[in-house]
Chain A
Amino acid sequence: MAKYLLLKHYRGAPASVNDVPMDQWTPEELTAHVQYMRDFAARLESTGEFVEHQPLSPEGTFVRSDGEGRPPVTDGPFAETKDLIAGWTVIDVDSYERALELAAELSAAPGAGGKPIHEWLELRPFLTPPPTITE
């Protein structure tokens, strides 16, 4: 068995053949789409091929270690995905600030000459079920 990551794109992928933004669909079409995804996951579970799926929020932040002090943060650059995704680490932290801190730490991993790489990492929050109290 080999594991694969099936990555769904908000942007950057070539345009779909049927390229209509979701808010232009009908509510019925949306329901059918969500159901299809759910059935797909259920089918994979029944065949023993399901590992996990996690939806990501469309908003990402690039973080880089800058040595001392706070990590700089930017909205870009949005590289091509085949360059962008080298793997992922999932963290579960108390705050966005802590996530930035850890991302910066990871960004400072040693590279050539034993010096930190200071590479850009993309930080993407998971979407979760809603809290019990919303109103």
Chain B
Amino acid sequence: MDEALLRTLTPTVIGVLVRRGADFAAAEDAVQDGLVEALRVWPDAPPRDPRGWLVTVAWRKFLDAARADTSRRHREVRVEEEPPPGTGEMVDDTLQLYFLCAHPSLTPASAVALTLRAVGGLTTRQIAQAYLVPEATMAQRISRAKRTVSGVRFTQPGDVATVLRVLYLVFNEGYSGEVDLAAEAIRLTRQLAVRTHHEEVAGLLALMLLHHARRPARTGPDGTLVPLAEQDRGLWNTRLIAEGVDVLQAALARDRLGEFQAQAAIAALHADARTAAETDWVQIVEWYDELVRLTDSPVVRLNRAVAVGEADGARAGLAALAALDPALPRHTAVAAYLHERDGDPVTAARLYADAARSAPNLPERDHLTRQAARLNAQLRS
């Protein structure tokens, strides 16, 4: 039994059922029943058209369940009114499912869980494991999400930006248990890119590919964080980088710049440098200027200050930093870095230690503590 095939078929078939008028939760249940049937029948009699087979069986399961339901008459009337099962367009059905799972009425956590379940075809246990919560908790989260979207009907295309935000959240989780969420996010974004030609879908896909390409170099064998400048560039995945750059260039050529494309452009400039010293910081600052224009995000301004520090010297970076709210996350870490570059290790060491205390995650805290320790050891000798 081809598990990967079943995982790809699941969202498509749910999509077909939803388009034919099935409630989302009912559609999913019916597809699950269909999959059980497939596991029983396929080993002996593999179907010529697995998707068609599954659509037929799942639709029959749905009708069975609908007839058994107390609101049976209602549903039968609705089923009567629906277009007859035919050659449903696969593209639209799955796309619709993406929009449903990223519906604005859902909280980000629920949208992510539902997307992984319905579009990704992951099991509840796998999702729970990836998010380090008990399976019962995740099951509740998913069924609540299903209830929330149960009445949603699609009369117009949903907002691509919402779908992209959900996929971006999945990618950023990045835990690697049984399911690598970063890889899963890339898989789903690829599927989305096939179905919709929105330039920001390509932008997000490029961004993910370029970041994913650097992953083997981002942590040392003992789990410590390796900053970009110190990464072993030989470990970067050149195939993914080349693909990311291709996807990005095609998107940029359409001249409809968005946030993800701009971020991907910055990632591409980093990926393009053979050594850290060869990085084209001047162009990176220009892309940050674009990003500031597009998002007006304080976090982007903070990153821009780092880039300015590289392009125009630490003093210029500190000047850019001075205009920003010191309460911003990672502000102290950036200040420490720029002060060290400016030749002030005493201030830098103090700031690194401060930054470590408020670090949002363990590898970052260890990294910042190590920076403080390094400078303090230098100062003693």
A residues bordering B, Cβ < 8 Å? 21-27, 29-31, 34-35, 38, 55, 57-59, 92-94, 127-135
Task: Decide: B376 and A24 in contact? CB cutoff 8 A.
Answer: yes
Q: Is B31 on the interface with A (CB-CB < 8 A)?
A: no
The listed residue (B109, B174, B175, B373) touching A23 by CB distance below 8 A is B373
Q: Check if B315 is an interface residue, CB within 8 A of chain A.
A: no
User: B residues within 8 A CB of A129?
Assistant: 174-175, 361-363
Decide: A23 and B352 in contact? CB cutoff 8 A.
yes
Contacting residue for A59 out of B174, B358, B364, B366, CB 8 A: B358
Chain B 180-205 interface residues, beta-carbon cutoff 8 Å to A? 182
Contact surface of B with A, Cβ cutoff 8 Å? 107-109, 131-133, 137, 171-175, 182, 207, 211-212, 215, 222-225, 228, 270, 303, 349, 352-353, 356-366, 369-370, 372-374, 376-377
Does B353 contact A127, Cβ atoms closer than 8 Å?
Answer: no
Chain A residues lying within 8 Å of B361, measured Cβ to Cβ, are 127-130
Q: Is the CB of B171 within 8 A of A132?
A: yes
| B224 surroundings in chain A (CB, below 8 A) | 31, 34
Contact of B356 with A23 in the complex, beta carbons under 8 Å: yes
Is there contact, CB below 8 Å, between A34 and B366? yes
A127 touches B365 (CB 8 A): yes
Name which residue of chain B comes closest to A52, CB basis.
B132
CB distance from B327 to the nearest CB of A (A): 13
The CA-CA distance from A49 to B270 in the complex, in Å, is 45
CA distance A129 to B369 in the complex (A): 16
- Provide the residues of chain B in CB contact with A127, threshold 8 Å: 359-362, 365
Given contacts A59-B358, A135-B303, contact A27 B370 (CB under 8 A): yes
Inter-chain CA distance A43–B353, complex, in Å, is 31
| Closest chain B residue to A98, Cβ basis | B107
Q: Is the CB of A132 within 8 A of B222?
A: no
Partner of A27, one of B108, B175, B373: B373
Answer whether A23 and B228 are a contact pair too, CB < 8 Å, given A127-B360, A129-B174, A131-B173: no
Shortest Cβ distance from B137 into chain A, in angstroms?
Answer: 7
For B211, the closest partner residue in chain A by CB is A133
- In the complex, the answer to whether A132 meets B182 with C-beta atoms within 8 Å is yes
Residues of A within 8 A of B172 (CB): 131-133
**Separation of A99 and B98 alpha carbons in the complex (Å):** 29
Give 25 A-B contacts (CB < 8 Å), ordered by A residue: A23-B352, A23-B369, A23-B376, A24-B373, A26-B377, A27-B370, A30-B366, A30-B369, A34-B224, A34-B366, A38-B222, A92-B109, A92-B133, A92-B137, A127-B359, A128-B361, A129-B174, A130-B174, A130-B225, A130-B361, A131-B174, A132-B173, A132-B215, A134-B364, A135-B303
Instruction: Return chain A residues, CB-CB under 8 Å to B225.
Output: 130
Nearest B residue (CB) for A133: B211
> Is there contact, CB below 8 Å, between B362 and A128?
yes
- CA distance in complex: A102, B263 (Å): 36
Q: How far is the CB of B313 from chain A (nearest CB, A)?
A: 20
Which residues does chain B contribute within 8 Å of A55, judged by CB atoms? 362
Q: Contacts A59-B358, A132-B211, A133-B171 given: A94-B369 contact, CB under 8 Å?
A: no
* Contact for A34 among B175, B222, B353, CB less than 8 A: B222
User: Do the beta carbons of B349 and A23 come within 8 Å of each other?
Assistant: yes
The 8 closest A-B pairs by CB, nearest first: A23-B372, A132-B174, A23-B353, A131-B172, A127-B362, A130-B361, A26-B377, A27-B370
B304 to chain A, nearest CB (A): 12
A134, B211: Cα distance in complex, Å: 9
Q: Pick from B137, B303, B362 the residue with the most CB of A within 10 Å.
A: B362
B259 → chain A, closest Cβ, in Å?
Answer: 13
Please tell me if the beta carbons of B108 and A58 are within 8 angstroms of each other in the complex: no
Evaluate contact between B358 and A29: CB separation under 8 angstroms: no
Question: A residues within 8 A CB of B373?
Answer: 22-27, 29-30
A34-B222, A92-B137 known; A27+B377 contact, CB < 8 A: yes
- On chain B, the residues within 8 Å of A27 by CB distance are 370, 373-374, 377
Q: Which of B109, B222, B372 contacts A94 (CB 8 A)?
A: B109
Min CB distance, B202 to chain A, in Å? 17
Q: Is the CB of A130 within 8 A of B372?
A: no
| B362 with A135: CB separation less than 8 A | no
